[in-house]
Structure 1
């Protein structure tokens, strides 16, 4: 839930800056992430739709930027961190999107998955190196 603070530090090659636009981090809050030139769009605004901190699960909806109104009609991300029996965790991300009529995507989906995976690997490395950062 602190990604708006961590992203510019951990993934500065992708995220130039980030801030909470509205709310206090609870459901309904909106945050904006501003991207570097390596990304195909300059920013996104997302609204927190669901949060279960005890189960390490949240869902957000893209409300502005990131292709909304240009190529995408709607998009959501559902992130859940599930504990493993060995003491580690698995992060599951389900991203859904509805394209505007007549829009086709090919390489963009693959590129988005690779970028997101890279960002999560960066966060993972940080948390392993700093185990008390969010305990």
Structure 2
């Protein structure tokens, strides 16, 4: 089994605590509202929202990814860190055992945030995946997610 590790930084014009709350704590209610064209639902299927919790995200029809299950590994509201593993999805079933995403939300001088994310892909056996494709495609998708959150809060500052 191989391991691929990628690091990304996403700059978002939303304060770190607000971004952390939206992305990590209010996922089930906020993301389907912000991205209804992509996310049909998000729900906890096991646990209480803390470490060990399993969340299922169902995407709208016609997307490459129809669902994903995440396991919360760690959550630290005080230090604005959050870690979850993608443990089940209908893509990469034969190549990837799991992907762990570690996030750290930090302030920018302008009052926004930088989300520093390390993604660790645990590859099954001798399967091969294209590191550049992952970085390009999934980096762009995550950047789009953060931009949608930013746009939501810019349009709804009291939310």
Structure 1 and Structure 2 fold alike (TM over 0.5)? yes
Structure 2 unpaired stretches of 5+: 1-24
Partner of 1:121: 147
1:62/1:68 contact within 8 Å kept? no
For these two proteins, the number of residue pairs brought into alignment is 133
4+ long deviations beyond 4 Å:
none
| Cα RMSD (Å) | 1.9
Contact 1:28 1:47 in 2 (8 A): yes
Runs of 5+ consecutive residues of structure 1 not aligned to the other structure: none
With the length of structure 2 as denominator, give the TM-score of the two structures.
Answer: 0.74
Normalised by the size of structure 1, how large is the TM-score? 0.85
Higher relative contact order (CA 8 A, sep 6+): 2
**1:36-92 deviation per Cα after TM superposition (whole angstroms, max 9, x unaligned):** 245322111111111111122100011211536422122111122111233222122
Report whether the alignment pairs 1:41 with 2:65.
Answer: yes
